[in-house]
A and B are shown apart, each in its own frame.
Chain A
Amino acid sequence: MKTTPAAVGTDRAPAAKEAFYQTKRFRQNIPLFVMLIPGVLYYLIFRYLPMGGLVIAFKNYNFRDGIWSSPWVGLKYFEILFQSNVTLQIIWNTLNLSVLSLIFGFPAPIIIAIALNEVRKSWLKRWIQTIIYLPHFLSWVIVAGIILTLFSIDGGTINKLLGQWGMEPVPFLYRSNSWIAIFIGSGMWKEMGFSAIIYLAAISGIDPSLYESAGMDGAGKLRQIWHITLPGIRPTIILLLILGMGRLMEVGFDQVYNLQNPTVLQKAEVISTYVYKVGLQQAQFGLTTAMGLFESFVGLVLVLSANALARKFDQGLF
């Protein structure tokens, strides 16, 4: 009796079959690895090689000897870092600005997403969305330009308005408290609409029948939001909170650099701007690399601990 071709395949010994799939898998992998070459090179050269360069935080770096041959200085730069009032103030400023940004900026997109979800007229919803996403796509240079136009003391729109009402001009950008308020407000203005997209996606995944039955049980809008919407988007909220925690040590360079001015530097100088000014422009590589390393390290610890905490509630990211 002849076997059909299909039966030959099934009769083949398991080992041979295994070997067949192994060769097939290997053959499939060759083009994939070729494709991966640019990506792997990028990550190795421009992401991982600089991590190796962090050793200059422990070295007296000079251009002549290069990274590897420069003499070791141990923890000298870290001692300077934590003994100098200037650097301590800068670390404090960094935390201050980023914690305030997180406290005010984090809930804003959640509120916007919940509010947008209540807009039933789809044309209005689309218009609002289109407009509030826009600021996200502008550079901080532009936003800073807008802020200067609105708030500057001479010729700023708001001060012109105050002048027309017979009031004294207010130096909004030169007082540290109003500067911080403008800093946080501008961050919220720029990102809250766009960040709402992810929450909107999460809300659209909630089963509508939950709202219907809650409505029948007599739950009002606010109760529905509290008992259905918020629990429904909790995983998303926690995920984004972890990511936000990880970024606590870094306030964006572009935002601070473009908004700060010499008058408020006492409160407005942060790690990244200091590293740029003192490290690169004055070539103090060791000290500022130590500062950057401290920033990255604390950021890493923060994100890992936030994740460990979230894991306790089964919401961990890794």
Chain B
Amino acid sequence: MRESTGGKIFVIFIHVVLIIISLTCILPFLHLIALSISSGHAVDLGQVWFWPVGLDFTVYIYFFENTPALRAFTNSVIITLCGTALSMLATVLTAYPLSRRYLYARKPITTAALFTMLFSGGMIPTYLVMNSLHLTNTYWSLWFGGLISTYNMLIMKSYFESIPGEVAESAQIDGCGEVQLLMRIILPLSLPMLATLTLFYGVGYWNMFMSVILYINKTNLQNLTVIVQGMLQIQGNFNMSAMDMMQQQEMVSEKLKAVGVVVMVVPMLVVYPFLQKYFVKGIMLGSIKG
């Protein structure tokens, strides 16, 4: 198809804008990674952009040896792995029955779940429920508090519904029970969706912040997000109050900030490319029906 000159300029303009936006999404990370491994002197002089100047990994060693970060990292991994498994299990077990047309009370149960997306008890009543169940200061408060994301559950339900009914019916005529049907037919056909939601839940648990500061008071149970946030906070005060602090120490703390962020991001960057192709497909399939 021929295109007018105006059309060509428009397309070039679009490309330039999109590339600039992409750069703003990736350059801050390169900058932080470069900051975190450059020498403190170069960082202080503002010489570091996107390429490290004078390699120096001492802050990484300091980060893991002198702060609660290592234990927090382990906590994050435990919270994420168990939480994702529990959430996926609960989500599948809720979405599947609700996707079967012959389920009694299907509409009211779905509506009741939907309603929680519109109205909630809020922070304090939820906290009081957690507290009265003695779940605070245990990971169960984190896992139970967000066990099912209603949004995820509903897109999984609509995905299950989109699987042709004949597939399930023929299996049922062959004497396949509900559990077998779910395990052998429905789930294998839903792999892109399962991968998508696993990624969503996993990221949610890895990044979990509010629930942890609400429900977990003990430092040795806190996750990496909270520990890194604490470092960023302390630093702000520290820089303002202690102007006479040695230059060296201030550089370390500024680099520590970068190290904390990099340590949190890298595991995500490692997993993300593998799951990316699934989640786009998963969201698209889930969103078409809405």
Interface residue ranges, A against B (CB under 8 Å) = 25, 28-29, 31-33, 35-36, 38-40, 42-43, 45-54, 56, 66-67, 112, 115-116, 118-119, 124, 127-135, 137-142, 144-146, 148-150, 154-155, 157, 160-161, 163-164, 189, 193, 197-198, 200-202, 204-205, 215, 220-222, 236, 239, 246, 253-254, 257-258, 261, 272, 275-276, 279-280, 285, 288-289, 292-293, 295-297, 299-300, 303-304, 317-318
B4 touches A115 (CB 8 A): no
Of the A-B pairs whose beta carbons lie under 8 Å apart in the complex, a sample of 7, sorted by A's number, is: A28-B100, A31-B177, A142-B207, A146-B29, A197-B287, A289-B122, A318-B114
B239 touches A53 (CB 8 A): no
Chain B nearest CB, measured from A56 CB (Å): 7
Shortest Cβ-Cβ A-B pairs, 10 listed: A50-B121, A53-B125, A39-B94, A292-B122, A139-B207, A160-B46, A32-B97, A50-B125, A145-B261, A201-B284
B214 touches A280 (CB 8 A): yes
A149 touches B129 (CB 8 A): no
- Of the listed stretches B63-71, B77-85, B142-150, name the one at the interface; the rest are far from the partner chain: B142-150
Contact A138 B265, CB 8 Å, known A28-B102, A50-B122, A50-B126: yes
Total B residues in contact with A, Cβ cutoff 8 Å: 94
- Of the listed stretches B20-28, B54-62, B158-166, name the one at the interface; the rest are far from the partner chain: B20-28
Q: In the complex, which residues of chain A have a beta carbon less than 8 angstroms from the beta carbon of B268?
A: 137-138
Taken together as a complex, chains A and B put the C-alpha atoms of A130 and B204 apart, in Å, by 19
Interface residue ranges, B against A (CB under 8 Å) = 1, 4, 6-7, 10-11, 14-15, 17-19, 21-22, 24-26, 28-29, 31-32, 35, 44, 46, 89-90, 93-94, 96-98, 100, 102-104, 109, 112-114, 116, 118-129, 132-133, 144-145, 147-148, 153, 177-179, 182, 203, 206-210, 213-214, 225, 228-229, 232, 236, 239, 250, 254, 257-258, 260-261, 264-265, 268, 272-273, 276, 280, 283-284, 287-288, 290
A31 touches B120 (CB 8 A): no
Contact A54 B6, CB 8 Å, known A39-B93, A128-B19, A131-B22: no
Q: In the complex, which residues of chain B have a beta carbon less than 8 angstroms from the beta carbon of A42?
A: 90, 144, 147-148
Q: Which of B97, B120, B145 contacts A35 (CB 8 A)?
A: B97
Q: Which of B1, B144, B153, B209 contacts A140 (CB 8 A)?
A: B209
